[in-house]
Structure 1
Amino acid sequence: MAAGSADSPATLYGPASLTFGAVAVIAAVFAGFVGMAIPLLFGSLAVTFALLGLARRLNRGQCVTGLALGALGVLYPVFLVTVLGV
């Protein structure tokens, strides 16, 4: 690899966090059908990859979007359980 090359596995933190965040939000909407573990797992993975990507300063826009979607995917089912007592 050449010095300063952007070809590393760390460049995939942004797209991975965005994908996991989107899946977490979609699974959170259908939490009654797919269960609560799926949005919690994918949301926490999205937050983790987003924070790693932001620390490396790679694909910031995707990392911020993945962080927001992942946090929403984690907090939405938790909010439903605490408020509705489902």
Structure 2
Amino acid sequence: MATGSADSPATLYGPVSLVLGTAASVTVVFAGLLGIAFSLLFGSLAVTFALLGLGQKLNRVQCGIGLATGSLGVLHPVLLVSA
């Protein structure tokens, strides 16, 4: 392992937010079968990890996509309940 390596757990914020955002979007589609709790959980975790990754400027594209899909996963159930 080289000295000054950029490997750290923080480099996984982007891929994790991307996966959780995708899972939130999929569970929004199946909200009638699964309920809204899964999309809220996956979406809020995706938004959290995306904001952490964007704050540390790591994997910005993946964090941006995770933020967008995660926010859809959070906003859809909120708007569904409020309507």
* Same fold? TM cut 0.5: yes
**Alignment match, 2:63:** 63
Partner of 1:82: 82
Calculate percent identity across the aligned residue pairs. Answer: 66
TM-score, normalisation: structure 1: 0.91
Q: Any residues of structure 2 matched to 1:1-86 within 5 Å, and which?
A: 2-3=3-4, 5-83=5-83
Structure 2: which 5+ residue stretches go unaligned? Answer: none
Deviation at 1:8, TM superposition (A): 0.6
2 CA distance for matches of 1:21 and 1:14?
Answer: 10
Moved over 3 A (4+): none
Deviation digits for residues 44-74 of structure 1, max 9, x if unmatched? 0000000000011000000000000000000
What is the one-letter code of the residue matched to 1:55?
A: G
Instruction: Report how many aligned residue pairs link the two structures.
Output: 82
What SS is found at the alignment partner of 1:42? helix
Q: State the one-letter code of the partner of 1:57.
A: K
In 1: Cα distance, 2:19 partner to 2:62 partner: 9
SS of match in other structure, 1:61: helix
User: Which TM-score applies when normalising by structure 2?
Assistant: 0.94
Q: Partner amino acid for 2:38?
A: I
